[in-house]
Amino acid sequence: MNVTIVDYNSGNISSVINSFKEVAKDKVKIEVTSDLNKIKSSDKLVLPGQGSFKSCVDALKNIKGLVDVLNDFATNHKKPLLGICVGLQMFADIGYEESETKGLGWIPGKVSKIDNQNGKYKLPHIGWNQLNTLKDSKIFKNIENDSHMYFVHSYEFIPKDKSVIIATTDYSSKIVCAVEKDNIFGTQFHPEKSDKLGLKIIENFINL
């Protein structure tokens, strides 16, 4: 089996690569590429994302044909895909960071700035926060409710259909921090920076 981390120049993804390789050992092939044919033929995809919603969407579009290949992979072939941080946010229809930007539209909803309640909450939201697990998920196997994960973000994904939400975290409000819709999974937190529990989520995704 091969798991491909999509490299579309969205910032430093070395920690994502290292953590997937650590979990995979020699059992699973981890590839990092922007080659469309390799992405197409993968068994699973990881879509990381650092920086702003707009910069990540623009970076995807800068690689000719990549958005079409991702759409085909996720929505037609329905193979497992994991979005991390802005990788998850891009599942939305639209984002409002920098300027109004169209997302991939896989999970209807929007990405808006976290309400910091007039400065009561610092943005970006950086650090460890507890998960409130709302329902069972294959990627949360053996992850207990109230586990802590590592976050770095100022914007939040607000899906229209609340049934896709598998966990929230309390920061200013109940922020969506993980979603699952059929074969599409996403975490707002960084599993690759969340110690052993984060590696467990990566392992769960690899083992799907």
Name the amino acid, one letter, at 86. V
CA of 174: how far to CAs of 61, 112, 143, 168, 188, in Å?
31, 13, 19, 6, 13
**CA dihedral for 155, 161, 162, 166, sign (positive or negative):** negative
**Residues designated catalytic:** 85, 190, 192
- Judged by phi (left if over 0) then psi (alpha if -120 to 50, else beta), residue 157 lies in beta
Q: What CA–CA distance (Å, rounded) separates 135 from 5? A: 27
Spatial CB neighbours of 6, under 8 Å, sequence gap ≥ 6: 33, 34, 39, 45, 46, 47, 48, 66, 70
Task: Tell me the residue ranges of DSSP E strands in 10-147.
Answer: 29-33, 44-47, 81-84, 94-95, 101-102, 109-113, 125-130, 132-133
